[in-house]
A = this chain, B = another copy of it.
Amino acid sequence: MILLRRLVGDVLRRRRQVQGRTLREVSESARVSLGYLSEVERGQKEASSELLAAICDALEMRMSDLMREVSESLAAAEVAITNVLPLEPLPAPAAGEPQVVAAA
């Protein structure tokens, strides 16, 4: 499953790194905790709408631009997933082999 928060985190992290800023700098500017920002960037925590707006402000980024970039990443990921969806049933996994979980 493609997780929105991962793609949001990727875009936020790239933006911060392009600006050459540390997690600490941006977290202080956005008034969010460093740990929270770090978890959001890694896609481990959902950012609330209010905190996402504060982080965008700190990164001098319009939220519409964040969402446009996220939409483009999503579209690319959707195409990639479509291309790996088999038209024929997969063979049953051999014993001990990790099960493939269907992406919803």
Binding site for B on A (CB under 8 A): 1-6, 46, 48-50, 52-54, 57, 62-65, 67-68, 70-72, 74-75, 78, 104
CB distance from A4 to the nearest CB of B (A): 4
Q: What are 11 pairs between A and B in contact, CB < 8 Å?
A: A3-B53, A4-B49, A4-B63, A46-B46, A46-B49, A62-B74, A63-B78, A64-B72, A65-B71, A67-B74, A68-B71
Bound-state Cα–Cα, A1 to B54, Å: 10
Query: Chain B contacts of A52 at CB under 8 A?
Result: 4
- Which of B3, B65, B68 is in CB contact (< 8 Å) with A68? B68
Q: Is the interface of A mostly helix, strand, loop or mixed?
A: helix
Across the two chains, which residue of chain B brings its CB closest to A31?
Answer: B104
Whether B78 pairs with A71 at a CB distance below 8 angstroms is no
